[in-house]
Amino acid sequence: MDRLSTEVAGVRFRNPFLLASGIWGETGAALARAHRDGAGGVVTKSIGSATREGYPNPTVEQLGSWGLLNAMGLPNPGMEHYAAEIALARKEGATVVGSIFGGDAKEFATLARAMEQTGVVALELNLSCPHAKGYGSEIGRDPAIVTEVVRAVKQAVRLPVWAKLTPNTHDIGALAEAAEQAGADAISAINTVRGLAIDPETMRPVLAHGFGGLSGPAIKPIGLACVWQIYDRVKVPIVGIGGISTPEDAFEYLIAGASAVEVGTALSAGGDALFGTLSAGLERLLEHHGFSTLAEAVGASHRVR
Ligand SMILES: Cc1cc2nc3c(=O)[nH]c(=O)nc-3n(C[C@H](O)[C@H](O)[C@H](O)COP(=O)(O)O)c2cc1C
């Protein structure tokens, strides 16, 4: 078996580098392109029940070398229109994970059923977007609501369910435990970290929405700490996300406890070649440390404490 291939809750990916939700994921062509560029799998943009335009511009601000601040407002074509995009990506051979967002357990369950029909290999529940009123972290930072949503989705579908959690809470471990107890098959961590940029000239927030979500290099230590903590609290596999741009970043996430990782912001700079560079570099790191499979590396830093 290839050293880089990995399994998350019964689903095998050819390598651990997945395209993160919301990055290039709005069209099937873009998902297919990430697959051609070497992604191990691709996560769709978070899809809701109806077409949503999102917030007015500006929705994204580059914060120097720290990363990006965004408040897109979950723009998406709606489930009914999006199925064709997934079909296109699957036709090109991509292993597709379907991301969904809803305002309550019932809406999540309905969307999950529709997403299951598209042939995705797993569902990722967006319980963590930090800037959409009534959605994401507004509901996902309450363990009781996480339990309710995950339970409803698990009753509605047979697919593996990944709960994507927010770092904007005092105890992400409690959210992970709630998700696991409700039947989640994996935990994805993290979504963006709530942040703000103010223009000193106009004295107004830079993004039209005000608060946004920070992603990129600045959040890597936060994501890593969350994965470390979650690994200590649950048994289900973890998908690590946040600030990954080098093979070393990914290796740190794996030895902290992740079985796969998602890459987002780095792709805006790294472009097409990044997935190949990450895989080649990780292969070398695994070999250097004497791991003959990726699974042996998962959580390894906990065992050398
Ligand atoms: C422009 C943009 C749009 C995003 N859209 C979504 C989304 O629709 N659903 C979701 O779960 N996460 C979304 N995210 C969060 C990413 O999937 C990821 O969790 C986060 O950016 C941290 O990873 P990174 O530092 O590699 O970018 C978005 C991030 C960015 C920058």
**Within the chain, where are the H helices?**
28-36, 79-91, 105-116, 137-140, 143-156, 172-181, 220-233, 247-256, 266-270, 274-288, 294-297, 300-303
pTM (predicted TM-score): 0.97
127: CA distance to ligand 1 center in Å?
12
Catalytic residue among 83, 129, 156, 298: 129
- Decide whether any atom of ligand 1 lies within 6 Å of the 242 Cβ: yes
- Bridge partners of residue 186, in order along the sequence: 162
pLDDT tens-digit readout, 208-218 = 999 999 999 99
pLDDT tens-digit readout, 109-138 = 999 999 999 999 999 999 987 777 777 877
- Enumerate residues 6+ apart whose C-beta is below 8 A from 96: 31, 41, 42, 43, 44, 86, 89, 90, 118, 119, 120, 121
pLDDT-based confidence at residue 270 (cuts at 50, 70, 90): low
What is the average per-residue pLDDT within 62-86?
A: 92
The verdict on whether 129 is a catalytic residue reads: yes
- Decide whether any atom of ligand 1 lies within 6 Å of the 90 Cβ: no
- Decide whether any atom of ligand 1 lies within 6 Å of the 95 Cβ: no
The residue nearest atom 12 of ligand 1, judged by CA position, is 21
Q: What are phi and psi of 32, to 5 degrees?
A: -65, -35
- Decide whether any atom of ligand 1 lies within 6 Å of the 131 Cβ: no
Residue 169 has pLDDT above 60, yes or no: yes
Q: Which atom of ligand 1 is nearest to the CA of 243?
A: 25
Q: Which atom of ligand 1 is nearest to the CA of 136?
A: 11
Contact of 242 with 266, CB cutoff 8 Å: no
Residue 183 has pLDDT above 90, yes or no: yes
Strand-strand pairing, 6-8 and 11-13? antiparallel
pLDDT tens-digit readout, 192-233 = 999 999 999 999 999 999 999 999 999 999 999 999 999 999
The span from the CA of 98 to the CA of 15, in Å, is 18
Residue 1 has pLDDT above 70, yes or no: no
246: CA distance to ligand 1 center in Å?
17
Q: Which domains does the chain have, with CATH numbers?
A: 6-55+77-197+215-303 (3.20.20.70)
39: CA distance to ligand 1 center in Å?
16
264: CA distance to ligand 1 center in Å?
6
